[in-house]
Amino acid sequence: MNRELIKDAVNETICRILPEIGPLDDGQDLKEDLGMDSAQFVNLVIDLEERFNLEIAERDILKLKSVGSCIEYLTEKVASGEC
C-alpha cells in the first residue's frame, strides 16, 4: 500500500468520524483545527488499527497529532511490514 492509498484511507476515516469537516489538509491538527474530542480520537485510533490490521502502541498515540502525522505513522508501519 502506497502513501496515497494510506492518505485516502486516513482521510476517509477522519471524515466518517467528523462528517461536518470539509477537505482535509496534512497540516491540520486533529484537536485544534478539526475539533476532534478525546472520544472521537479513540474512535480514530481503533478504526485505523482495524483498517490497517495493526496495534498502535500507547507510546505512539501521542505521535498522531495531525492528519499528516497519522499518514506518516501508518506509512512507516506499512513500509516496515508491521501490517
Active-site amino acid positions: 37
Question: In the 8-state DSSP scheme, what is residue 34?
Answer: T
Contact partners, residue 47, CB within 8 Å, separation at least 6: 13, 16, 17
